[in-house]
Amino acid sequence: MRDRITYFALAAVLVVYFVLAGGRGIALIGQGTAVTVALGLSVLVMPLIGVWFLCQTTKFARDADRLAAELESEGGLPPDELVRSPSGRIDRDSADAVFTRRKTEAEGAPEDWRVWFRLAVAYRDARDTPRARKAMQRAIALHDGRPVRA
């Protein structure tokens, strides 16, 4: 729940920034000179990219939550079998051992979105965010019947 609150708070801050930056861009365009119009258009590009990125990230999070809910209803969420320090930090060797098992499962069933979901969780636990995201994108694509990117 804390992650959702953080996400929505940051998204709200970004939306405020987009509105402020967009307003500045429109004001520059309103000046009407070649230089200010060029600057205004360039200022508008960043909020547009930001809105696109925010939409993509939100869609990804919703899709991952949808898969997690379905997997939970099936009783297929991976159990938390990681060794943690007293502060709650995941032990690296423990995460690597779980990751190795999950990777073997994914290699054995490359078309099963469930094993890719569990592999994404293992990547995240091993602190490999880029690969966790790619594995989750693959799980989502497999679940939704879309073509899977290599």
* Residue in the block written with tokens 């809105």: 51
Alpha-carbon separation of residue 112 from 4, 143, 150 (angstroms): 27, 8, 15
- Burial environment of residue 40 by CB neighbours within 10 A (0 to 12, 13 to 18, 19 or more): buried
Structure tokens at 148: 């899977």
Per-residue pLDDT band at 108 (split at 50, 70, 90): very high
Percent of residues, the chain, with pLDDT higher than 70: 99
**What pLDDT digit, counting tens, does each position of 36-74 carry?**
999 999 999 988 898 899 899 999 999 999 999 999 999
Cα–Cα distance measured from residue 121 to residue 55, given in angstroms and rounded to the nearest whole number: 22
Beta strands, E only, the chain: none
Distance from the Cα of residue 115 to its chain's centroid: 18
Cα–Cα distance measured from residue 50 to residue 47, given in angstroms and rounded to the nearest whole number: 5
Rounded to two decimals, what is the model's pTM?
0.77
pLDDT of residue 13: 93
